[in-house]
């Protein structure tokens, strides 16, 4: 078929100040009849309870809790990081200084590999150790989000600091530089 591929919209809804849309599938993988039936099912579920994102082919659903990168990080931080990482305060502070101002407001599922790499490469030029910390923990945050069905994919899953980004850890003091203190 040489024509354009159409996307069947399953449902649209409005949360306070935020418009949402969920797509079922693309034509010709799903018939118009199947799209209409799926739309009716999803609208009925939206009326019954919390907003759920459903994977169109598997039907698996996860409650939408993390809207932005910052919201996803803060959930991961409270549930996992605080309990399992010694330097959790430094991790939080690194994200507050270097990640949240640049991509923190963006929808977590929309942040691309290229946006993450631009942020990490810029930081690696200045402080490679912090860039490595950001990459390591961002990968964990995104993996955590994928496992809980808050994100469809982890764009950083195959990126390695040493091999792909030439980020090398440099031993240094375990404290903030004067410029980092100003930002705090």
pLDDT (tens digit per residue) in 149-176: 888 999 998 887 555 544 444 445 556 6
Do 90 and 163 belong together in one domain? yes
> 81: Cβ–Cβ under 8 A, 6 or more apart, which residues?
88, 91, 92, 137
By residue range, what is the domain housing residue 33? 7-63
Same domain, 171 and 89: yes
On whether both 143 and 175 belong to a single domain, the answer is yes
The predicted-structure confidence for 64-108, as pLDDT tens digits, reads as follows 455 899 999 999 999 999 999 999 999 999 999 999 999 999 999
Question: What is the structure's pLDDT at 25?
Answer: 61
Q: How many structural domains compose the chain?
A: 2
Mean pLDDT of 2-14: 51
State which of 63, 92, 110 marks the end of a domain: 63
- In sequence order, what are the residues at sequence separation of 6 or more whose Cβ sits closer than 8 angstroms to the Cβ of residue 133? 90, 91, 94
CA-CA-CA-CA dihedral for 36, 68, 143, 141, to nearest 10: -170
Determine, yes or no, domain membership for 83. yes
Report pLDDT digits (tens) over 104-130. 999 999 999 999 999 999 998 999 989
């Amino acid at each position: 078929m040489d024509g354009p591929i159409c996307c069947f919209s399953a449902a649209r809804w409005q949360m306070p100040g935020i418009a949402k849309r969920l797509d079922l599938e693309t034509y010709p993988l799903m018939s118009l009849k199947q799209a209409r039936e799926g739309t009716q099912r999803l609208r009925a579920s939206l009326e019954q309870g919390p907003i759920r994102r459903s994977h169109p082919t598997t039907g698996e659903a996860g409650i939408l809790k993390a809207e932005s990168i910052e919201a996803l990080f803060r959930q991961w931080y409270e549930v996992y990081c605080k309990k399992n990482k010694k330097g959790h305060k430094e991790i939080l502070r690194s994200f507050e200084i270097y990640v949240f101002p640049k991509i923190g407001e963006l929808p977590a599922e929309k942040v691309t590999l290229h946006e993450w790499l631009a942020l990490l490469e810029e930081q690696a030029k200045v402080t490679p150790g912090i860039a490595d910390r950001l990459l390591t923990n961002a990968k964990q945050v995104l993996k955590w989000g994928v496992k809980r069905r808050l994100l469809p994919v982890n764009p950083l899953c195959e990126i390695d600091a040493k091999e792909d980004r030439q980020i090398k850890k440099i031993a240094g003091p375990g404290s903030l530089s004067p410029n980092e203190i100003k930002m705090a």
